[in-house]
Each structure stands twice: as C-alpha cells, then as structure tokens.
C-alpha cells in the first residue's frame, strides 16, 4: 500500500478518535489534536508498529460485503442452534474434527478461525497457522458439513483479494 495513504489513514483515525473523546470544538484544542496526531503517526511509522495487515484499507470494500454475509450466517446459525436445543428430545451430536484452510496470509487464516468461532454452533479450539489447520468443535453433523463445504474459506479468500478464487 502507498506509504502516504497509510500515513493519512492512520492520522485520520487517530485524530477522529481524539476528537470523539475530547468533544470540544475550540480552535486551539483542534490544532493541538492535529499536531499530536501527526507526531504520533510519524513516531509509530518510524518504529514500524503498523503495517498493511494492521490497517487493511485495501480490503475495506470487500470487508463490508463479507461482514454482511457473516452477519447473515450468524443469524441463520443462531436460529438453527436455538431450534436444535429447544427440541425435545435433545438432538445434539457434538463433533470434533480438523479442517484445512486454503488461506495464503496469516490475516486470512485468523479471520477464518475467528469467523468459525463467531458462528453459533462451532468453535475453533486449536489453530496451527504453519499447517493451515484448525481443530473445531461443532454442535451437530449439519454444522460440521457446513464448514467442510468450504464456503466460508472461499469467502475469506475473496475478502483477502486472492486471485485464485
């Protein structure tokens, strides 16, 4: 990512955060906020605290689409799990299994593992980034099959801008 765009994005986020916390519109305070935000941004860039993965501006448009899709999946899974546990007799058949990820970046792999955990009925128990492997506990065979279909993995590959999708 362009160094200047990253600088401006970091400055804007810092200044916006400062402004929201201050709640004042006095010119002197706004000027101090701008100066402090610039100094902090310069300092953190010299220390290389943030990189492209820390502030992934390039994936923002795709991230919005992914978040909408993930929210829908969370909602559908919540309904499924609610029906599953409210039925009598209880029809839960827990599964523990491993799944391999096709993610090419650490960030993509972590988003995948966290998305699995965010979806009701599944939990990422152990992750192995080197092997691209996630151990998962699922509440039922249906939730296991849903993950094994690879749809979520493919959605995250698209999110990360993978050209192979």
So where are the chain's domains? Answer: 3-47, 58-159
Token pair for residue 113? 């593992």
**Model pLDDT, residue 54:** 66
CA distance 40 to 50: 12
Cα–Cα dist 33/165, whole Å: 43
Q: Kindly indicate the confidence band of residue 7, based on its pLDDT and cuts at 50, 70 and 90.
A: confident
- The torsion defined by the Cα of 23, 25, 30 and 36, in degrees rounded to 10, comes to -10
Q: Is 132 exposed, middle or buried (0-12, 13-18, 19+ CB in 10 A)?
A: middle
Distance CA 10, CA 42 (A): 10
Q: pTM value?
A: 0.73
Residue 59 carries which DSSP code? G
For 46-85, the pLDDT digits (tens) are 888 776 666 677 788 899 999 999 999 999 999 999 999 9
CB of 123 closer than 8 Å to CB of 116: yes
- 137 forms beta bridges with 96, 123
Q: 106-125, pLDDT tens digit by residue?
A: 889 999 999 999 999 999 99
**CA 103, 108, 113, 116: dihedral to nearest 10 degrees?**
-90
């Amino acid at each position: 990512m362009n160094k200047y765009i990253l600088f401006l994005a970091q400055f804007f986020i810092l200044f916006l955060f400062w402004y929201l916390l201050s709640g004042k519109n006095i010119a002197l305070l706004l000027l101090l906020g701008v100066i402090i935000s610039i100094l902090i941004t310069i300092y953190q860039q010299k220390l290389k605290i943030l990189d492209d993965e820390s502030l992934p501006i390039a994936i923002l448009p795709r991230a919005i689409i992914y978040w909408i899709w993930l929210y829908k999946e969370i909602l559908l899974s919540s309904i499924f799990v609610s029906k599953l546990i409210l039925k009598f007799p209880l029809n839960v058949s827990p599964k523990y299994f491993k799944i391999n990820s096709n993610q090419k970046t650490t960030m993509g792999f972590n988003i995948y593992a966290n998305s699995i955990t965010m979806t009701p009925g599944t939990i990422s128990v152990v992750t192995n980034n080197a092997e691209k492997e996630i151990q998962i506990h699922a509440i039922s065979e249906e939730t296991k099959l849903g993950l094994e279909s690879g749809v979520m993995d493919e959605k995250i590959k698209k999110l990360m801008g993978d050209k192979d999708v």
